[in-house]
Amino acid sequence: MIKIHLIVVMLLVAIMIGCSGEPKVAQPKILVSPKGLIHSFWVTVHAGADSAGREYGAEVIWKGPTQETDIASQIAIIEDYINKDIAAIVLAACDAKGMNPVLEKAHARNIPIITIDSGVDSDIPLSFIATDNIEAARKAAQTLAQLIGEAGKVACIPFVPGAATSIWREQGFVDEIKKYGSIQLLPIRYSQSEVATAMAVTEDILTGHPDIKGIFAANEAGTIGVIQALKTKNKIGQVKVVGFDAAPNELKALQSGEIEALIVQDPFKMGYEGVKAAMMALNGEPVQKRLDTGVYVVTRENIDQPEIRRLIQF
């Protein structure tokens, strides 16, 4: 009987030992929670996160709210995975302040937290991996100013008040455009990251200011909504548009002349570096506190350059 038990134990050990001769270790589970799911930007972030997961041996769990305004859903998702003993969290926060209580819960359980794209007003995250959104918006202002001959009325349409990226893009654009004495900035309007809202807001602006010269739309939904409104009002080409991100429909609009330029990030790098940093933290390695993933101004003139093609291939 003792011999039988011994054989069973030996078989179990053999199963647990891989070809390398070492016990198999389960992959750490990393929650990657974007602040939205419906835009092409997040699809590319997901691809980057999955790529790093495969390379560094992590199981990436991709789960976020459908809408970028749904702060409560993102909080609920994070709380759920804290209770499931997730190994690490990579987060693009819906709200800079609203996420802090749930992040404190994760921190209390020694769960490493990495923020990407949109950060939080807290020192808890080990790293923030994102575009320098203020600098990106400054480039948008400079580009739009050149397009309209540095004179005339312009509008800035950020997305969600309270979201860090929206705040920074608004700040960067406003601060830079004020340097042009002959440009008048109209009151700020928000798209709520919805195409329909962006379209309605733009139509209101066009009705109230038919002589407007340019518009900066600070994300994908805003850019598409602005284009649709300009088509409705027969203003394509008359009003110069600088958009943000590089979704397929935005790139198509750029190439067709419906918009003049796109401010493009590197979402694949954000997802990849976010998961990489989480794995480094789990392995006890030092993590860079701030990583700028870069920003590019894409136009019809440079869209075929190799560096730009790399960003828009997904």
From first to last of the 314 residues of the chain, give the pLDDT tens digit.
444 444 444 444 444 444 444 433 479 999 999 999 988 899 999 999 999 999 999 999 999 999 989 999 999 999 999 999 899 999 999 999 999 999 999 999 999 999 999 999 999 999 999 999 999 999 999 999 999 999 999 999 999 998 989 999 999 999 999 999 999 999 999 999 999 999 999 999 999 999 999 999 999 999 999 999 999 999 999 999 999 999 999 999 999 999 999 999 999 999 999 999 999 999 999 999 999 999 999 999 999 999 898 888 65
Q: Tell me the C-alpha distance between 152 and 235, whole Å.
A: 16
Q: How far apart are CA 92 and CA 41, in angstroms?
A: 12
Tell me whether the CATH fold assigned to 10-130+267-293 matches the one assigned to 133-264.
yes
pLDDT of residue 313: 65
Q: What is the pTM of this model?
A: 0.81
Alpha-carbon distance 173 to 157, whole Å?
Answer: 10
User: Would you say 35 and 68 are in contact if contact means Cβ atoms under 8 Å apart?
Assistant: yes
Task: Report the alpha-carbon distance of residue 111 to residue 2 in Å, rounded.
Answer: 44
Q: What ranges make up the beta strands (E) of 64-213?
A: 88-91, 113-116, 127-130, 152-157, 183-185
**What residues are paired with 127 via a beta bridge?**
114
Quick one: which H or E segment has residue 291?
strand 290-292
Distances (CA, A) of 181 to 152, 178, 184: 10, 7, 8
Contact at 8 Å (CB) between 259 and 227? Answer: yes
3-class DSSP state of 249: helix
Q: Which CATH fold topology does 133-264 show?
A: Rossmann fold (3.40.50)
pLDDT at 169: 97
pLDDT of 312: 80
Q: What's the pLDDT at 8?
A: 41
Residue 261: strand, helix, or coil:
strand
Superfamily of domain 10-130+267-293: Response regulator (3.40.50.2300)
Task: Provide the pairing of β-strand 296-298 with 261-264.
Answer: antiparallel
Cα dist. 43→76, 87, 124, 182, 236 in Å? Answer: 22, 23, 26, 40, 29
For 154, the token pair is 């312009």
Beta carbons within 10 angstroms of residue 271's beta carbon: 32
**In this predicted structure, what is the pLDDT of residue 26?**
74
Please tell me the predicted confidence (pLDDT) of residue 24.
39
Looking at residue 123, its amino acid is D
Taking each continuous run of H as one helix and of E as one strand, the counts in the chain are 11, 12
Instruction: Locate 101 and state its tokens.
Output: 């209580």
**Exposed / middle / buried, residue 122 (Cβ in 10 Å: 0-12, 13-18, 19+):** middle
DSSP code of residue 231 = H
Other C-beta atoms within 10 Å of 303: how many? 16
pLDDT given for residue 40 in this prediction: 86
Q: What are the domain boundaries of the chain?
A: 10-130+267-293, 133-264
